[in-house]
Every structure is written in structure tokens, then in C-alpha cells.
Structure 1
């Protein structure tokens, strides 16, 4: 009866509080906006910048756009300027809450106006898209807190669609850039806003746009897509579709993005390859594309120059934090556009015809008087094989592209890294600048690219799938932890085999402690049923409630499966797998250690009482199980038995209890820290009044510790 009453009380306590749901939403436009710009020749270059994180508390990020970026753009003169998300920081000074700040968006608008004025760029070639920070706390597109729809460059030019299509039209070729805004439809505040969330409707719109450009021959159209989220941080659509298959199917050359800052790695590259065929009788074809992430402007002041030359794509990242660039202004920069770096070769899109030209873009504030390309042979200790002079191509007075002629037949090789190219430029001040060494393959062979372990885990692991593995493996472990010992205990009670099993286990000391913890910990019915009910609550009912969007918005509930956010059509489920930053730390750092500690507390009490009974005098004799009624009888015998214990036994008993108490305190402090983080993020009162998250773990720990304590041992 006591067990049943306690379990009913715990269940009612956890779900006593409920909250109303009222909200409004709107549907984002998925149709694409198609724009076209002419280009001279068939070589085009664009500039990408990402993760500006303009902040009211860090005005230098905005001022550096004018001080550093504007002069660089005046020299580079790109065909497009792409800003791939996280325009504003949207956090308070202590970085504990996420919310939109109007002053940051005004700061961005004013900075971009200054950049346009100082660089001389046409404002129409600037395309910006949202990042997750730009959607924090925005209940829906068009809401008063949706400052992107008012102050962004795209909004000022009437580009309010989630898909932007831009084509650069040359003499013989077309270069298509398609931007995708995959921010979550309802802007849940952090930390539950980390992934891109494409919809089936948006994926269909992207596919339709890619199909539109397939009316042209593939060798005349190069497709580059840009967005904020890497593929590893992009969820599947409602029907399980993923962009990787779509991009490969329509021969996308590359996808450029941001989101992961340079602190993780400045070289996050990923080669996607898949096999597909519409006819089962036809061998599957390999389809591939590159994914290149750009580091942040926020802390690293990075920009990227991406060039397309005859359909092949190459890029160069510029670090404005390098001392000489800050002190002396923009330095001469060289980007080789052909031959392409063999480490970034996409063999799927090359026709493998030999080109007898070397092309390089030279960006400099000084007049360039000489440009030379040198070919080295890495198999011969980098001996110089050939020097090729390059001459500028006068296209509309744009003296940035230099071209030279060579005989590509001389550089056929079985190795994609044998021959290396370097271009040097001499300016009118007598200063010589050299490019990085670039391995190349005239035959289109791809050199292996090796990433670091951290880069692989962050950039190449599909976190949506990994989250499911980590989540359900932990839940399965908890279920096994609850039910396996319980089933064994039922078997033992039925066949009275506890003594023999305990003896056989004790002979293997490595298993003895684990066995005692599992068997003795699970025999306490009150604690076992309490943990079971709590786990069921975590699986089926809300973990907590809070202000999921704006600070004054509606209350929403967070489940193990995601947020249930109010919408005009009822409840909308969002935030999977974004909630991994909440669920995984809570399950792995709080719930699992709590279950183990509760088991350990009751196992320690049972072991101590067994010792007091005097039934374990022999070292090899098994510890008997003490039934509840025996424990109540034993309490009257404790004073006399305790006096007979050795000092070593008393000290051991005290240290074990202290160790378990320390473990309980660590779990409790971790739990309080996680709760405080969520309270700061989603509101103190609603999270505080959410028992499943805030109170139940502490109650279970305190209850188990108190119930497992022995009575006063002094006579």
C-alpha cells in the first residue's frame, strides 16, 4: 500500500501543472525568386561571408565590415556578395538568453549601406539569408520581431522567398547560384534551434529550380548552392527526404555554407558521393558534389573568394586578422582558377578534355607588372619543371584575370599530386606575392582529402541519425537497468536460489559489486516503482514548459520528441533533433547517474545490514538478502551489533556513504546547472513549475538517500 500511494503521489505531482496554448503563425513563401546578371567572359568570382554575429555589445564586428570588408570588395569587385546567415548575434550581454535586438539589425543595415558606398558595389548583387540566430524568438515570418524581413538587404530588394536563384550569364556559359533558407518555421529560442529544417514543399521547390536549369547542357551550366547549415546539421523533411540525394541527382557542383565557426576548423570540406540509376538494368552512376563550410566573421574575420572558370570551381579564404592585413590594408591575393586543385576536384562534372591554359585572378591595390606561373615536380624534390608567363585579360577594363598558355600533355600523370602549381605576382612597388602551392591533375584525377577527427565528427557525421542512436541507446539502457534485475529477483524469489547465485558471483570479484548493486538496488519496491513512473513520464509526457519563442509569447511544452508549439491549426511539433542539447545532457549526466546512485544506496544499506546480522563472518560466504520485514526486526538489534563491529568496518561504512553522498551532490549540482540554463532560456517560472525536469530528480535522490540511511548507531 505504501508503494502504491507513493507512486500515485509522484505521478500526480509531476503532471499537476498545465498551461494554456494560444498563438498565431504564417506560412513562408517557398517559390523562388530568379534574377540574372551578365558577366564578361566565362570566368566569374563571388565573395562569401558568413556568421557576422553583429552584436550591440561588440560594435567592432560591424565597424570592421566598413574598415576591412569594404576596401577588399572595392579591389576584388565580385559578381555577387553572398551572406550566408547568422547576421546578428541575438543574445544578451551575458549570452544566457536568445532574443532579437532591433539595434543589431539597424547596425547591420547601416553597415551594409556604408559597405556599398565605400566599395562601389551595386546593392543588387548582395544576397543575404537567415541563420538560426536570425530566427531566435521569431514566432513566424512577418511577426514584429522578424527584423530580417525589414532590415536585410534581400528584404529591401523584395526578396522574401526562402529560395533565391541567381544566374551569371557569360558568353558561352551560365553559372547558377541558388540560396536556401532552411531556418525553422517557428523561431524557437536557443539552445533548441541548431539545425536546418527543410520541408517537403521547399525541397520540391529546390528540385523544380534545379530542373529548370537542366534544359541547358550540363557542360554549359554550373550549379552552386548556398545556405547557412551544413548537411550534417540539416534535418530530413517530413517524408524523410535529404538534400544530399537531391544535389547529387541534379549534378550540383558545390554547396557552400557557414554555421560552424573557425574555432572548430578553418578547413571543413566534405565530398558527397552517391550512386543512382533510374533503370535497374543500367549500372548505377556515381553522382557527387562538394560541400565547403566557411569560418565565421564574428571572431575570425574570414571571407571567401569563390571562382568558376569554364565550369570548374575553386576558392580561397582570406583571413583579415593576420597582422600585416590589419596594419597595411588589403594585401595582394592570388586565386588560381585553372587548373583546379586536385584535392577539390569533382570528376563527375569534368569532361576531362585537356585545357592548354593557366588562369589566375590577382587582387591587389597596386598595379601588377608581372605574373608568372611555376610548375614543380613533387616526385623530384619539387624541382621546377616549367615557368609560364601570364598576361592580363582586358575585359571591360577589369585587369584582374591573367592567362598563360602551356602544353597540358606534358603533365599527364598517374598521381593526382605529382605536379604542383604556384603563381607569383610582382607589383609596381617591387613587392612579390606568391600563391599557395596547388596540386593539380590535367586528367581530372582526384587527390585524397584527409580531415581531422574533430572535423570528421562535426562535419561528416549525420547528427540527426546519431542523435537517435545516442537517445534510444540511453533509454534502452535505463529500461534494462530497471527490468533485468527485477526479473532476476522474481526468479530468485520463486526458486529460492539467491544464496547459490550470490556465492558463484562473489567468486568473481569483478562482477560481485555490479551484481550486488543491481540485485539489491532493484529490490526496494518504492524506489523501483518511482524510477519506473519517472521514466514513463519522460517518455510520454512534457519535460517542462516555457516561453519557446519570444519572452512574452505563449507557453509551449517540450517533449522527448520535440517542442509542441501553439499554431492556428492546433499544436505543431518542432525542434527535432535540435532538442539534443537539452535531452542528451539531461539523460546522460542526470537521469542515468541518478538511477545508478539510487541502486547503489539501497545496495549499500542491504550490505551493511547483512554484516550486522553476522551472517558474513567467513570471507567466502555469500551476503544474504535481507527482506523488508527482517530489516525492521534488525533495527532493534543494531546498537548491540554495532558495538561489535571493528573500527575498520565502521570507517569503511562511513567512507562508502560519503562517496555515495558526493555522487548525489555532483548529480544534483549538474541538474541544477542544466535547469538554470533552461530557466534563463525559456523563463524561470514555467520551467521552475515543471516537476518532471525541475523537482522529480531531486526528490528521487533525496528520498532514496533518506530511505537508505541506517538509524542512529549509538546505543
Structure 2
């Protein structure tokens, strides 16, 4: 990091997660030693004395912080900007030419900050929104305004923020570490959004240049001897109508900014595979290399490829290139990056878990109705649907399991999932629809993801296990039926009744521990913690001890000497469903 600081740029922006605050991986809390190390790095390198150091908090920095705006918060004590600013702030850089460039931080961290994993999405309160509006208005007269925050907008509850950034050209953020690489998008309103991979694991950093009001950038990994950024002409795919794009066709020089460990000896420039010349070092800026060009020659509305080959005196070489167009039109391409940064993920996560729970409840109501309805006998062939329907009807015919499982599904929407010390010194409750702590409501966070995983890997397998167990118990009690179990059916029964149940109990214990490791007492007292595993065990034991009277459905066998033999289900002495195969019996 000290090498990057030697670049001595006008400004260095740290967009959050100044600390990790997780150890071991499942537990999160405020580790003061990490904050001390961060502050020591700033003091040792003396970076804040010769460049503007703009740091801000990320979600890792507010883990288990009950009041991140308090003067006792470690962020307020050890960070550079936190000493002066308790949340969002703005900084204006004035150059020797009296040009002003404003940088506005947008703090969307939880307040209070609860521990991981249910502290992932950004949220902005009405109070903070007013603060950002005030900061934004202060920058209206700047030549260029850049907004930065920790969270991508698609991972936040930030209604109204886009409107406040309408005079900014870019929103810089991070947060996702290396989950998805190269996340860049231009939104429909013209705002450019650029997400950056992390420094901790991937040693990634970004160099941003502003050339005549036009922003260019490159992301690098910290393992290169040379770091170049083409500042003019700008790459066509990153142009935005919020920039003075007409200046591209009026430019007189190709410009590239180069940071390097060793002196640069060659900067060869070519366009469309045609060599133009060797760029020379600017007199005013030793990191700037320029080459005269005739912009009118390339102002034809087409894309052109600019390629620059750079070599230092240690014979290290690097190539950089971009595709540019001097027209003022912008290019819109639907890419993976645009998809990730344009979709509102909290809403997307809400849909599958809500839909799955509703379908689950409807399915149980359907099978319960199938048990109780009155209808004439109907033949059932050996189909996949009937293999599912009969055990489900048996399960739903038992009041204990029908009401317990449908009640558990409904409880996902109503009751608290986790209860415990969600932040230092304060007990809170996490619901499907949000979190309540210190009398403050926080919108749904990672519980939507946690709940979806629990549905697929625990709740649905548990239902299958109980279904198989009840059906097996029913067949065992129905002594009037002679059951000749095949080897395949026996293996299937052992898997669904015994092995699957063992898996569900182990999984719910593991998943509950992972989800509540940061919250004291939560694993023990949370409804979706240890009590859920105990409740599952209770249902399983009851399924092995059911009596015939517990079933509202009856399986019998009837024999007619002169015609038909069939297995049927009698329901409330009114309805029968054929589940066997008719066999003609010849008279002697």
C-alpha cells in the first residue's frame, strides 16, 4: 500500500471496509486492534499530509456497533474523516487553474449496525437523505461532482438518492469484493456506476482521471510495474451524456496518464493498427504523456481502436487499449454488469421465498381438501403424480402434521426468526419483513437469502421425510394389506425416512449456528435456532408413533369372488380412490 501512496495523486478515496471485523469467519464484532493498525498505516506513511484522504465506513466497519455516529464509535475515533464527519460528507478539490472538483460520500450503513450475516444491504434513513441533499446542493457550482459510497445502488434501499446525484457524472462503490468482476454500468438517467473489487483479498485498486471534464479510469491489480490510464480520447462504452462530450472532437492531443516504479522510455501510440508516434512527457506533469493528433480525421461516427505500448528502462512492457468514438452519442449494451447493477436485488430475493411459501401452503390446503372432499371412485395409474399424491394425502390427513407444517410456513411471514443481542448491548428481533432493534426498524436484509436456503435445504426435505415416515407408518398399521416391499422401495424408504431426517437435523443446527454466531443467546432462544431442531425431532418422533385413529384416511382391501380385486382408500366412509390394479377372476 505504501507504494500506491507514492503515486502522490491529488486525492485517494477509500470506499469502505476499512477493517474486517470477523474472526473466526462466522463471528463478527468490533476489533479495536484492526482500527489501530489502520490508523498507524496512515500515520506511518504520512499520506494525509500531501494528498486528500477520503475514507468512509462500510458494512464491516459497523458490525456490532450500536451507534456508529457516536463519538465512541471506533470509526469516529480511528478513521481520518470520521473524526470530523459522523456520516456522509463532501470534499472539494481546487486545482491551480481554479477548477473545482467535488466528492460527496453517501453513507448507507445500518444504524445501529448489527452483526454478520444479516448486515449486507445498504439503507438510507430520511434524516441522512436530507443531509445528502444539503451536501449535493453545495457542489452545484463545481466543474465536476463525483459521488462515492460503499454499496452498489442495486444492493440498497435508497429511494431518492438517484435524484440527488443528477448533477454528478459517476457513483463509485465497492462492497461486493470479488463476487462479480468488472461491474460497470451506465443507468438510464446517464449516471455512470463503477464497482471495484477489494484490496484485502485481490489487491485491486482504481486510477481515475478527469480530463477537460471527462472521466476515465482503469482498474489494476497490485502486481504491475506500470499503471496506464488513457484520459483522452475516452472509451466509448463509458461515455455518459452528463459529460461535455463535444470536447472530444475539439481535442488536440492524445493523453495518457502513467504511474510506474521505473522511468518510462517509450509510449508508442497507434490507432486502427496505424502507428502515430511516440508520446512525450508533459512539462507540467511528469505522469502525463501526450501526442498531437487530428481529431477531425476520426470524427466519422465510427468506433476506432486506440492502442498504446509502454516500456520502462527495466524493459517492462505493458499494452493498454480502448475503443473510442468522437461523436456525442453514447453506446448502450446490456451486459452482465448492467444486469447486476440495474436489478434491485432486495426485491428479487423477496420473490422466490414468498412464492415458495405460498405454493407450499396452497399445496397443503389442496391435499387436505382432497382428503376431505366427497367424490366417486376413480382409478389411479402408476404415475409420478400419484406417487406424490398418496403420501401427501396421508400426511395431510393427520391434524398434527397438517397444522404444524402449514403453521410453520405461515410463521415465516409473521413471527420473529432470530432473537438475541444483534448489536453490542441491545436485544433485537429479526423478522421476514425486517429487523427491530432499539426501537428502530431496518428493512429486510440477508434474512431473505438465509430463509430461502433454509426452505430449500431444510424445510422441504423435512416435509418429504415426514411424508415418507407417515406413509410408512400408515402402511405398517394397515394390517389388512399384504405388502411385498421391493429392494428398491426399501432403499428409498430408508433414505427418506431415516437418512434424510438425520441430514435435516444436522443442517438446521449448522445453518442456525452460522446465522446466529454473532448474536449472543440467539442460537438458543431464536425460534429458527435450536428450538426449530427440537420441534423437527418432535414431529419425527410423533410420525413413528401414530395410531390408526390419527389418520383421517383409510386403506382397505376388498375381494369380489366373481369379478374384481382392488386396493382402495376410504375417506370419511364416503369416498374411495382406487390405488391398485383390477384383476379378472375366472369362474370355475
**TM-score if structure 1 supplies the norm length?**
0.71
Q: Distance in 1 between matches of 2:370 and 2:96?
A: 75
- How big is the shift at 1:228? 0.7
Question: 2:12·2:51 contact (CA, 8 Å) conserved in 1?
Answer: no
Structure 1 counterpart of 2:354, from 461, 464, 472? 472
- The Cα of 1:565 is off from its aligned counterpart by 0.8
- Distance verdict in 2 for CA 1:518–1:456, change over 3 Å: farther
The answer to whether the 8 A contact 2:168-2:242 is kept is no
Q: 1:474–1:588: 8 Å Cα contact kept in structure 2? A: no
Check conservation: 2:15, 2:173, Cα contact below 8 A.
yes
1:403 matched to 2:281? The reply is no
Task: Indicate the residue corresponding to 1:357 in structure 2.
Answer: 253
Aligned to 1:109: 39
Give the 5 Å matches for 1:54-93: 69-74=1-6, 76-92=7-23
Paired position in structure 2 for 1:266:
181
2:326 matched residue in structure 1: 442
**1:548 aligned partner:** 422
C-alpha distance in 2, partners of 1:213/1:290? Answer: 18
Which deviations, in whole Å up to 9, do the C-alpha atoms of 1:57-97 show, x marking residues without a partner? Answer: xxxxxxxxxxxx223332x22111111110111122x2221
Q: Distance in 2 between matches of 1:655 and 1:467?
A: 34
1:377-416 paired onto structure 2 within 5 Å: 383-384=273-274, 386-395=275-284, 398-416=285-303
2: CA distance, partners of 1:232 / 1:561: 19
Deviation at 1:178, TM superposition (A): 0.9
- Given the superposition, is the C-alpha separation of residues 436 and 520 from structure 1 closer, same or farther in structure 2, using an over 3 Å criterion? same
Specify the alignment match of 1:533 in structure 2. 407
Whether contact under 8 Å (2:148, 2:171) holds in the other structure is yes
Matching residue of 2:558? none
Structure with bigger helix share is: 1
SS in 1 for 2:132: helix
1:564 aligns with 2:458: no
Answer yes or no: is the 8 Å Cα contact 1:362–1:402 preserved in 2: yes
Alpha-carbon deviations, 1:125-173, whole Å to 9, x = none? 11110001100011003558621101111134x2334223334446374
Deviation sequence 1:16-69 (CA, Å, 0-9, x none)? xxxxxxxxxxxxxxxxxxxxxxxxxxxxxxxxxxxxxxxxxxxxxxxxxxxxx2
Structure 1 residues 230 and 334: alpha-carbon distance in aligned structure 2, compared to 1, 3 A threshold: same
**Contact 2:59–2:120 at 8 Å: present in 1 too?**
yes
In structure 2, the CA distance between the partners of 1:375 and 1:576, relative to structure 1 (3 Å rule), is same
SS at match of 1:100: coil
**Alignment-derived partner of residue 308 in structure 2:** 423
Which of 479, 499, 512 in structure 2 is aligned with 1:662?
Answer: 499
Provide closer, same or farther for how the CA distance between residues 297 and 699 of structure 1 changes in structure 2, counting only shifts above 3 A. Answer: same
Normalised TM-score (structure 2): 0.85
Indicate yes or no: 2:390 matched with 1:516: yes
Map 1:196-215; keep pairs closer than 5 Å: 196-214=122-140
Q: Indicate which of 699, 703, 706 corresponds to 2:535.
A: 699
Are 2:120 and 1:194 aligned? yes
Could you say what secondary structure the match of 2:234 adopts? coil
Q: Does 1:96 align with 2:96?
A: no
Measured in 1, the distance between the counterparts of 2:69 and 2:182 equals: 36
Partner of 2:572: none
1:134 alignment partner, SS class: helix
2:145 matches 1:243: no
SS in structure 2 at match of 1:435: strand
Q: Which residue of 1 aligns with 2:585?
A: none
> How far apart, CA to CA, are the structure 2 residues paired with 1:596 and 1:308?
60
Measure the CA separation in 2 of the matches of 1:155 and 1:204. 19
Structure 2 counterparts to residues 99-498 of structure 1, below 5 A: 99-116=29-46, 122=49, 125-141=52-68, 143=70, 146-156=73-83, 158-169=84-95, 171=97, 173-214=99-140, 216=141, 221-236=143-158, 241-247=159-165, 250-262=166-178, 264-273=179-188, 287-320=189-222, 322=223, 325=224, 331-353=225-247, 354=249, 355-376=251-272, 383-384=273-274, 386-395=275-284, 398-416=285-303, 419-427=304-312, 429=313, 431=315, 433-447=317-331, 451-452=335-336, 458-490=340-372, 492=373, 495-497=374-376
d(CA) in 2 for partners of 1:649, 1:443? 74
The answer to whether the Cα contact below 8 Å between 1:138 and 1:145 also exists between their aligned partners in 2 is no
How far apart, CA to CA, are the structure 2 residues paired with 1:212 and 1:510? 67
Deviation at 1:649, TM superposition (A): 4.7
* Aligned alpha-carbon RMSD (Å): 2.8
In 1, the alpha carbon distance for the partners of 2:183 and 2:491 equals 53
Q: Rate the CA distance shift 1:519–1:706 in 2: closer, same or farther, 3 A.
A: same
Give ranges in structure 2 of 5+ residues lacking alignment: 548-588
Question: Which residue of 452, 463, 466 maps to 1:584?
Answer: 452
In 2, Cα distance between the equivalents of 1:591 and 1:271? 40
The 5 Å alignment of 1:598-677 reads 598-607=466-475, 612-614=479-481, 645-646=483-484, 648-649=485-486, 652-653=489-490, 655-677=492-514
Tell me how far apart the structure 1 counterparts of residues 321 and 487 of structure 2 sit (CA, whole Å).
71
Distance 1:123 1:133 in 2: 28
The alignment partner of 1:548 has SS state of strand
Aligned residues: 546
- SS of 1:436's partner is strand
Residue 560 of structure 2 corresponds to none
Tell me if the contact between 2:147 and 2:172 (Cα under 8 Å) persists in the aligned partners: yes
User: Tell me, what secondary structure is at the counterpart of 2:14?
Assistant: strand
Q: CA deviation at 1:608?
A: 5.3
